[in-house]
Amino acid sequence: MSGLPNKILITGASSGIGAELATQYAAEGITLYLTARNEKRLKEVKKACTEKNAKVHIKILDIKDKAELTKWISSIDELDLVIANAGISAGTGGGGESVEQVENIFITNIDGVIHTIHPAIDIMKKQKSGQIAIISSLAGYRGLPSSPAYSASKAAVRVYGEALRGTLQKDGIKLSVITPGYIKTPMTDVNDFPMPFLMNVEKAASIIIKRLKKNPARIAFPFPLYFVIWLVSCLPPFITDPIFARLPEKPSQKPSCD
Active-site residue list? 150
Secondary structure (3-state) at 9? strand
Secondary structure (3-state) at 174? strand
Beta strand residue intervals within 121-187, DSSP E: 130-135, 173-180, 183-184
At residue 246, what is the residue type? R
Secondary structure (3-state) at 186? helix
| Measured CA angle at 201 (ends 118, 8), to 5 deg | 35
Beta strand residue intervals within 37-169, DSSP E: 55-60, 81-84, 88-89, 130-135
| Measured CA angle at 101 (ends 100, 107), to 5 deg | 85
Closest to 143 (Cα-Cα) out of 241, 19, 4: 241
Secondary structure (3-state) at 165? helix
H and E: helices and strands count for the chain: 10, 11
C-alpha torsion sign, points 68, 71, 77, 79: positive
Q: Determine which helix (DSSP H) or strand (DSSP E) holds 155, and give its type and residue range.
A: helix 148-168
DSSP state, residue 138:
G
Secondary structure of 136-147 in HEC code, one letter for each residue: CCHHHCCCCCCC
